[in-house]
């Protein structure tokens, strides 16, 4: 009798496989279960994260330019460090590619990696390519030096804390829908030129996202350390539930507070889709979702890129969304994007 992986789901599988692991080394401060591991050697504290992006699952090369892919792969890793409230210092990249890839395409991929490293001030210190039977697999490992008292885990949200999110949500998911639509049209008629004008924001958020270095710096400069933080990579619902389940809390968020860009809403309209669904369940946003004590609220006022969307409640109150009309809705883990 063998059980398919899908029976447990991504999060179930990992906790099933790693739930019994007890770190033995004094240098391991935090192991599996957050955006990055936290290690301490002498007076140095580091965050380290490693992640894989697979062709056909996380990206589609028929509409993803290789430079953008390189940039996004680096951003993916850096975002995990920012989610711990740590800035990246080094990046290691290991790529497996099949024989169909050209030297030129790898050059473009590395150009993207190098641009991201430049912008995020990280050194590319490990590069390895190996063959693959089919497709492209990218592994990114990022290392950042942490300030111990500023490290922000996901399991330390407190009842009463405000829930904040950077930027706007759901755009990357709608960008993906446009790219998929144009791909289908092109497959039906190769004479058709993809119509991407007017979708710059949503497509840009999908193809060439940025990690929130600016928010990381704002938090540092305003002396604000979130009580908990995660990056929005699986969708607001899923990532907020991660904070709540790790912190053993509930939450209440408000429909009209969730930041959705006009273009995201318009694009959702074209697909007869509720924009909120994209914001809650789409992935790849790379925004920061964090909680702060109510008495720190003043420090956020007027920041154009941070929205307060709700607050943390006691665990027995559950996790709920207050919609525009009607009764509150329980937040469920749902994923409509490409991953998982």
Long-range contacts of 271-276 (CB under 8 A, 24+ apart): 271/174, 271/177, 275/170, 276/170
Shortest reach from residue 88's CB to a second copy, in Å: 10
Shortest reach from residue 305's CB to a second copy, in Å: 27
Instruction: Read off the DSSP letter of residue 340.
Output: -
Q: Is residue 25 within the footprint of a second copy (CB under 8 A)?
A: yes
User: What is the strand order of the sheet 28-30 is part of?
Assistant: 28-30, 37-41, 44-54, 136-146, 90-97, 123-131
Angle between helices 262-270 and 200-207 (to 10 degrees): 100
Compare residues 50 and 308 and give the one whose CB is closer to a second copy: 50
Joined tokens for residue 6 = 């899908």
SS3 call for 221 = helix
Shortest reach from residue 336's CB to a second copy, in Å: 15
Encode burial over 249-260: b for 16+ CB neighbours within 10 A, e otherwise.
Answer: bbbbbbbeebbb
User: Would you say the C-alpha torsion 9, 10, 11, 17 has a positive or negative sign?
Assistant: positive
Residue 42 neighbours by CB under 8 Å, 6+ apart? none
Binder of a second copy out of 61, 65, 119, 129 (CB under 8 A): 129
Q: Is residue 8 within the footprint of a second copy (CB under 8 A)?
A: yes
Binder of a second copy out of 64, 65, 132, 246 (CB under 8 A): 132
Contact window for a second copy (CB under 8 A) among 9-17, 151-159, 260-268, 320-328: 9-17
Shortest reach from residue 253's CB to a second copy, in Å: 27
| Site for a second copy, residues 140 to 179, rule: CB under 8 A | 141, 143, 145
Shortest reach from residue 111's CB to a second copy, in Å: 9
Compare residues 101 and 320 and give the one whose CB is closer to a second copy: 101
Phi, psi angle pair for 332, to nearest 5°: -120, 155
Shortest reach from residue 304's CB to a second copy, in Å: 30
| Site for a second copy, residues 304 to 333, rule: CB under 8 A | none
Compare residues 124 and 308 and give the one whose CB is closer to a second copy: 124
Among 199, 277, 205, residue whose Cα is nearest residue 236: 277
Binder of a second copy out of 78, 85, 112, 139 (CB under 8 A): 139
Q: Is residue 18 within the footprint of a second copy (CB under 8 A)?
A: yes
Q: Is residue 123 within the footprint of a second copy (CB under 8 A)?
A: yes
Q: Is residue 61 within the footprint of a second copy (CB under 8 A)?
A: no
Distance, in Å, from the CA atom of 162 to the CA atom of 334, rounded to the nearest integer, reads: 23
Compare residues 21 and 329 and give the one whose CB is closer to a second copy: 21
């Amino acid at each position: 009798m063998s059980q398919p992986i899908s029976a447990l789901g991504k999060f179930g599988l990992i906790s099933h496989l790693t739930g019994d692991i007890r770190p033995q080394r004094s240098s391991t401060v935090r192991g599996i279960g957050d955006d990055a591991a936290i290690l301490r050697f002498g007076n140095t504290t580091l965050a380290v994260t490693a992640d894989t992006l697979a062709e056909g699952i996380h990206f589609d090369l028929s509409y993803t330019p290789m430079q953008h892919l390189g940039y996004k792969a680096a951003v993916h890793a850096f975002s995990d460090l920012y989610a711990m409230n740590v800035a990246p210092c080094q990046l290691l990249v290991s790529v497996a590619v099949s024989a169909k890839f050209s030297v030129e395409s790898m050059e473009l991929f590395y150009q993207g990696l190098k641009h991201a490293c430049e912008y995020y001030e990280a050194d590319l210190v490990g590069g390895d390519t190996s063959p693959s039977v089919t497709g492209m697999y990218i592994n990114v490992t990022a290392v950042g030096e942490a300030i111990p008292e500023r490290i922000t885990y996901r399991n330390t949200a407190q009842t009463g804390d405000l829930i904040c999110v950077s930027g706007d949500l759901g755009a990357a998911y709608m960008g993906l829908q446009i790219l998929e639509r144009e791909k289908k049209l092109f497959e039906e008629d190769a004479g058709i030129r993809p119509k991407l004008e007017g979708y710059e924001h949503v497509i840009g958020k999908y193809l060439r996202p940025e990690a929130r270095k600016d928010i990381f710096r704002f938090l540092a400069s305003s002396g604000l350390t979130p009580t908990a933080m995660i990056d929005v990579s699986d969708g607001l619902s899923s990532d907020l539930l991660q904070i709540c389940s790790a912190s053993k809390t509930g939450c209440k968020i408000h429909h009209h507070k969730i930041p959705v860009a006009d273009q995201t809403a318009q694009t959702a309209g074209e697909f007869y889709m509720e924009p909120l669904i994209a914001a809650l369940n789409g992935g790849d946003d790379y925004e920061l979702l964090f909680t702060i004590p109510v008495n720190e609220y003043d420090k956020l006022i007027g920041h154009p890129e941070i929205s307060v969307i709700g607050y943390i409640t006691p665990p027995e109150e559950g996790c709920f969304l207050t919609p525009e009309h009607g009764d509150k809705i329980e937040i469920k883990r749902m994923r409509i994007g490409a991953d998982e």
